[in-house]
Amino acid sequence: MPGPPGDRGWAPADGCPPLPPGEPSPPPRRKKARSMATLCRPAVSVPEYVITMEETLELARTRHPDHPQLPLALRLIENTGVRTRHIVQPIEETLKHPGFEERNNLYEAEAKARVPAVVQQALDDAELLTRDIDVIIYVSCTGFMMPSLTAWLINSMDFETDTRQIPIAQLGCAAGGAAINRAHDFCTAYPDANALIVACEFCSLCYQPTDLGVGSLLSNGLFGDGIAAAVVRGKGGTGIKLERNGSYLIPKTEEWIAYDVRATGFHFLLDKRVPTTMEPLAPALKELARQHGWDASDLDFYIVHAGGPRILDDLCRFLQVPPHAFRFSRATLTEYGNIASAVVLDALRRLFEAGGAEHSARGLLAGFGPGITAEMALGRWHIPANGSNGSK
């Protein structure tokens, strides 16, 4: 199992052992082509409890009949296009607020009950075992644990005890893209390594019955719960061979998406300007593609975070691509709602289920979240010559 230089038998990236002291340097030689990591098929699971758009609207009407902006809130919820969402408790329990401690305890219990099966499916799809994983990148913004769930996974699923842990807790919906990018970075530094990404989001546990702003009412009808996992293989694998990644933050927007942390837990703050953020973010996507010699308006597939329909509509306009380009992201939004960091992985799962893409097809992945931050990646669809995930 690979590790950093000096650990578990690692040699420098070019495969050459270090020279003995005083030994003259060999003549320069041609640099080997860098191998690229492959993002394999994600596994996704959503809880068994379902709430429909119609039920959401009726709850808003019955719980807030005298709200002065109820008609606006209802219209905004309808415009999301979210038909169904999945939640970890029956809606009757979700609407209660037993306190932050009990909610966080439930987050931990549900994560431990649900994540291992999703992780195992992702490993199976990548044709790897737990002992083949070198780093676990865990992203979540809807509960808190210390040690991170990564430590529990290593112990309970028999990952190697020297597996690295990278928990990311404060990037919100952008964390799915960030996890892909950090896995890419890790596998670039250690070309024989494999990374496991886990996204666990129980947005329903952040419901606050006393938050009555229009943004809060809209959020109550937009967010859902979901778990996703995927492997990034340093060598081998079918999926997206990652070639370049980048990040961009819109200046002076850090208050547009935020948590107000109180005794009652996480209170989600959503500024009404958030739906307009694709106008400044689209140029960042274009620039990343330009640096790579690509045209962001002329790619073969697009996997982006579906924060809401306005985000996708504006991306179509500013990137000059047809609505069909974001069909997988729209399907996630319609069937699951906004499942935060797990959206990008679920949209990618849908591309796999649709048969994937042609070998070497070019694509873009992007997650958007607090900051306002975009985490972006470029890659080509890769199908091994032997049709399998390659050697383990």
Which candidate, 140, 266, 270, places its Cα nearest to that of 201? 140
Q: Could you list the beta-strand ranges (E) of the chain.
A: 38-39, 43-45, 49-52, 84-87, 135-139, 164-168, 194-202, 225-233, 239-249, 257-262, 265-270, 301-304, 362-369, 373-382
Longest dimension (CA), the chain: 83
How many H helices and E strands in the chain? 11, 14
What is the C-alpha end-to-end distance of the chain, expressed in Å?
Answer: 11
Catalytic annotation present for 173 = yes
Helix axes 327-336, 309-319, angle to 10 degrees: 170
Nearest in space to 176 (alpha carbons), one of 193, 151, 201, 157? 201
Q: Take residue 98 and report the two structure tokens written for it.
A: 């037993």
Q: Output the six-digit token pair for 256.
A: 């547009």
Which one of the listed residues 173, 187, 203, 206 is annotated catalytic? 173
Q: Which one, of 198, 195, 216, lies nearest residue 207 by Cα? A: 216
Please list the active-site residues: 173
